[in-house]
Structure 1
């Protein structure tokens, strides 16, 4: 036993002290958050219990209590029962000591459950001392960033392993202690020294001391001012809420976060390791699971509802593979989100991105092949590149994958060739099935032919639970309401307007001509007396008075033009975003809209603005007319109501009574139920065979003919159904 062993123990002790210090600093920061959170959580629980009828407690007494007597005594809610206490309860006729104790015990159980599940929402528009204290406490952890989280994880692991080893190696810390120790203790001490040496050398190679020292500096800095913390919260609210969800004592819905996968499959995914060393952001629990799912299952469809961060889950999977030695990756997406993908890759990871688009795309392709990184390209451009050899591509990511659900199209065939040649493929879409279960099956077939071939229309119609179980190995979907408790409320309002005389005349002319597209926009054809346009002005004016920004969606460019002229001069108007606007310019328009310090309006074609662009600067959404496909509206709304949104989102859908709008709304409701049955988690499918296979062209023709009959215009022009695809 000599100087070398003593030096190893000393180095281990220094590392152990640094690790314990970081754990303590982090623990105190978490305690500060918990202390700030407690009064807000208690208040939220109290509100929930005050809204819970006292009859919910009936099960606890076996139905022996006459709840009418309890309610007549003024104890109408669970909250009032808890406030009343045992003495007040025993004054109620028919309630004795034992029953009162049972009632209070049941009320306390409900209170405990509420404390575990209630969501604390931070209102950025109404800051007050208690919420400011919470935001300031969270700011310390947010500023520490992903490196801070990695340092804490490392510190906890080192402290857990070094502590016992240092205790066992105690005799080796001094020459005389070692001489006085017995043979068995000396043997254990030397073995512990070897263990300490291995841990210390590994930690030094990983730069542990520097990482731990920086983490302590970050965790011990002075708290931010309330103004600075609030500004940072509005910019990075998703990171604040992500930390809040992980505070000890708050139990997440594990089943929802894991997409309600079968237990064996979920366990397999959980065992998949995820190396996040090349990520620049922290993942939420459900996002980490999504990345693990993509890695464990190799070829999958991530169908998370919009706003849940599918992009960052894909990037996390790519960075893991890059850390394991893979060098080349490909992202295929619509032109509208090319720039967004490049931005996200560069901002959220250390990966290099290369844009394969435009006249120089083949030169860029050659550069990417030689240097590696993530190639970002479009569906159409992909067709011009040679399919890879086996093993060349670490992962192929296909965003908005529903664009390739038709196997007969050239873009679908090109994607299928690449998927076949790639070991891993990740399809992403919030709308994997719109009208036909068969189309969903075709999408799955590209990834896993065996799963697709095992599905039949009959299997789908037996119920969505069976359907989800069958596709579980290749399909993962989570919904906002299940995993993002912090999202502000989403308020939908159908704004039914009585058409003006001028509106009616324009609509009648469109019906007589059999022009379905003109029928849909008739309410804006004569803007000087448009009922819808007047209501839209009111909504925008009200939003402006509250300092809120508004996004206005329409399928039609000419409707957006009318809206822009009507709002000009009253509020800054940006756009319109249409199919003719280049992808790079689209993102710039959205950025300019977000940068306006006060009220502003962004105009966008719903099929353009509803794909890939993040519009969470807006808290008011106006949809000028109902759409033929419900998923188009859902995508558009999700661009504002998504992770990172800090205000309540109000959605106003402008509808005219008595005509095409009413008929479309009824059909949209039926199609939405179909989507919910199969693409969301649901107990019973609500579809019939003809509902699954309904044709949009058939809808158009039927609506036009029924409207002609209603208005006594039978025998006029035949329906112009083919115009549906041209805005």
Structure 2
């Protein structure tokens, strides 16, 4: 009888153990206690306005536990206990949601399809263990399967096929001895990614965010360009053998030049550069200026115009999916990812493509040059680091790779030691984090400078503008030929009559000023402004995320409207400063931009806000449209570059490539040079808006006539 009793008792215990496996004893009471305490901590932090990455992680963890406990409560056989528990859970959830309602980022974490961070999963397991519940290894959350997004058809440009046929037996680069398999270390069994992230969240006070850099390189640069000392330091680090960099300098400190010259120093060719569409043309332009011996090509659409034999291949994120096949097999020995915060979400398609190509490059080349460029390494959370670190090869999906693991091991500490986080942060920084602010290198850079950013106008708008410019040129050519025939009785002229060219340009300018319709120099500039508006707004948002407040200047109301719509769509707060506002409204909007840290952009009319404003709170300006005079442009820049400004000011001038936009920019610059020469007391020779318009027409007609003569 005793034996049977023990058997029944053992069976009963076995059943209970199987039922509670992984949950432990007294789950309900203990878990509710831990859950209530964690929810209280989150609510306190939210009410005090401290929405830190740790708060977001704990918020998501509480939401996950609430969801799990609700599901288990519904399975409870005792109806009264089920009702009581569900009521308690609902009270916690309601209180938490009310405190989080003003933060869209927190509310997004409550979504059923929200990505669960590794930190939230880890914290959930810790909270369950603190409730006395052992979480079995098999209960660890499964790897999330990301549904495949239908990709555009993959292509191989014909010039790439020609290159492959010219060198069909492209061999891997074994110039550096392959690294042996990582040996076990005292940290091998530790979960390290969480502590590494927390080291940047908690151990940053007073700690440097920049690796030690050598003295600036003396490497010569082409033309009359000069490498600034802070730029030369990074190039020198590359020459010394460093090959992975998270270059997080603020905008305006020349990250593009540093990347191009580092590739030259490392002989990292062919080089792949992945960029946002708005800066693709600028990368090709900068490559021609900084490394003129290296051919650069940009991939447009299906790559029909790409140069398969180029040393530098520039591709934008939007078309990466259709080219990933041949890019992975091209034999790149270096890769640069510009605005690298674009890949912060590892589950996105573009992030997976970037990481895949990076792994294939590392499989081909033992020590490739890998550079992530961003002034904003963190957008929402410290977890944004993970994808960038993985691209650079410092970590894989779950743990540090050999070089970083060795560095962490050399500290002689583990995550259980009090000083580990500070030491771990130093180890990661030494892997190649380089961060300089404008104020840190103010002595290196001019107090005020204009940086041109050429953009390609794709699609119907761009084609229409280029067609209108050709039509304007042909109309002036016909007018020139008619005048020449009338004056010389039809006899052919040798060369170009430049006097007549100037007359025709003056006639065209007068007709354009008197006519209210038709394509002329005025309507074309307005169409260019509308076409550039979205790209200019996109770049302003990138700068705002990287360096803080930005002043956005435009001439026309519809350009300002388009920009403001883009800012509103992307959740970027802005102030609007226009000519049709009352003085009270205008001042209120100025005060909001100057005093409210949450207002990132001031959208200003170039004519109405170009004078009488003090906007020293911003050191970055975006000129979405060109002014007609150098003085008007200078006045706009001086809204920020004035007494009280303690940082160098950079004006980013958005230019439509291969259009009259660039020609007018050059004329404005030449007038600015004349104005500077006249500061000794001579008359102002900076010219009027009519001068620039006329000279732009002269240049356009002269270029068309030269093309006709050469044909």
- TM bucket by the smaller chain? 0.3 to 0.5
TM-score, length basis structure 1: 0.33
